[in-house]
Amino acid sequence: MMGPTCRGGREGASCRTIEAMLPTDHLLRRIDRCLETSELRRALAGHYSTRGRPSIDPELLIRMTLIGRIYAIPSERRLCEELLYNLAYRWFCRLAPGDKVPHHSTFSKNRHGSFRDAGVFRTLFESTVRRCIGEGLVGGKDAAIDASFIEADACWQRKTIPGYLPYVANAGRPVREWLSDQGSVVTNPGGSKDFDDVSRTDPAAAWSARPGRARFGYALNALVDTPSGVALDIEATPARFAEEVNAGRVMLGRSADRFDYHPKRVAADKAYGSAHFLGFVRDHGAIPHIPVIDRTQQTKGKLPRTAFSYDRDTDSFICPTGKPLPHHAFHPPTGVHRYAADARDCETCVLRKKCTTARRRTLVRLDDEDVRDLARAEVETGLYKRSMRLRRGVERFFADAKGKHGMRRLHLRGIRGAEEEFLIGAAVMNLMILARPHRLTGKPRRGACVPAALTPAAISARSIEHDVIVSPARRYA
């Protein structure tokens, strides 16, 4: 039976004394005004019996979890200990001075049970996103996608090949979950040519050498609205580039379904510059402000593809001497079109030594080459330069998560545990944006005047559409 809500912890003479001692502008007091937990109780209602002994209020556990992430307290034992004597923590959790603090094992029991089955932390995070949208903090025009490496709670020395994991004695929960997700043991889960082993304690983590020494870890993938800095979606993946690009597609699609979020421009680094991802962003209705992964100049001293002109009407390339390279073959899995010249033309060509050492010159063109040309053309625009500046907001998101909220190393194991920690951290950072005393969607630029009476919604509506700033006139004595 679900326990009663902990509203009574702020009643009585002793609680009124704590209320008077807590400053009016305290961070927890401001976050408490922005936190809404009624949706969480509705999500958990089906996981509790209608009769029996009342349980610990799940809202209390969620509020304690938020405190642990706000103040970077990774240990649940230490969190329960500090809740015994920290009055601000007790006020936020709605605990009266005489109320008991839950045992630290209660967190694990609920996290692996009802909380995970009900998707409580995803619900909590999405409630903060909807609150930010309702407050007018999300402009909805510029978005940024990126990923950051987070070290897993796994020793780099405890490695084994995947085939031995089913026979490991006393296998922990992360190992059992990974084996059930795999269905059957695979030979190369890491996706690396030089490293095939997995961690014995957290096999879902990927072996990565970034940044610095190699270790096991996960990727924190974030979709952030710029310049407000509001995290719109979070996805946990093993620390592999291919998984991160796939997570970008998932986050854009999910934010469109859940919040009807359709940005006009999407910025990312060059790791997302593949033709498939650029095409997905274009089909999503956004302009990709992403550097293109281009290897056309890697020809070992031979003529690059830019020396050939493409004729769209005949679907063929024209070489510098005027000879055609017609369409030769198409590979559907990769979307690559291959064009080849006539071997007789190459034999008598005066540029043969500069062009190729094979019998004939061949070129390739991707199925999404049009969107690659679009992304290349956007590089020279002022909006692209502005998007690159606004993209720093997602880097600031990662810096705050690691430096201020203790997310350099995970406390939980497994892909589900990593996602829970990432969702809690993103929810906390959205709540801190909501709890700013005088919040704005961005700092006023130099030369721009923002009236004091302007609301956040009005500021979001006036987001700059072009990169033109009029500097104030200088006065000389």
Distance in angstroms (rounded) separating the CA atoms of residues 324 and 344: 12
- Sign of torsion, CA 278 282 284 288? positive
In degrees and rounded to multiples of 5, residue 340 shows phi and psi of -135, 140
Count Cβ atoms below 10 Å from residue 168 Cβ, excluding itself. Answer: 14
Region at 351 (left for phi over 0; alpha for psi -120 to 50; beta for the rest): alpha
pLDDT at 396: 92
Ordered by start, the domain boundaries in the chain are 6-118, 305-373
Cis (ω within 30 of 0) for the bond into 227? yes
Q: What is the pTM of this model?
A: 0.81
Region at 158 (left for phi over 0; alpha for psi -120 to 50; beta for the rest): beta
**Contact (CB, 8 A) for 267 and 290:** yes
Token match 């201020």: residue? 404
Q: What is the layout of strands, in order, in the sheet containing 336-340?
A: 309-311, 316-318, 324-331, 336-340, 362-366
What three-state secondary structure class fits 171? coil
- DSSP for residue 444: P
Distance in angstroms (rounded) separating the CA atoms of residues 261 and 238: 26
Distance in angstroms (rounded) separating the CA atoms of residues 180 and 178: 5
Count Cβ atoms below 10 Å from residue 303 Cβ, excluding itself. Answer: 15
C-alpha distance from residue 94 to each of 9, 103, 141, 169, 356 (Å): 4, 17, 39, 43, 75
pLDDT at 14: 58
Walk along the chain (477 residues) and give the pLDDT tens digit of each residue: 566 655 555 565 556 677 778 888 899 999 998 988 888 877 777 767 677 777 788 888 899 999 999 999 988 899 999 999 898 999 998 888 788 888 888 888 888 777 887 788 999 999 999 999 999 899 889 999 999 999 999 988 888 887 777 666 567 888 888 888 876 444 445 445 556 788 888 899 999 887 678 899 999 999 999 988 999 999 999 998 889 999 999 999 999 999 999 999 999 999 999 888 999 999 999 999 999 987 766 777 788 888 899 988 889 999 999 999 999 999 888 888 999 999 989 988 988 888 888 889 999 888 888 888 899 899 989 999 999 999 998 999 999 999 999 999 999 899 999 999 999 999 999 999 999 876 544 444 443 333 344 344 443 333 333 333 333 343 433
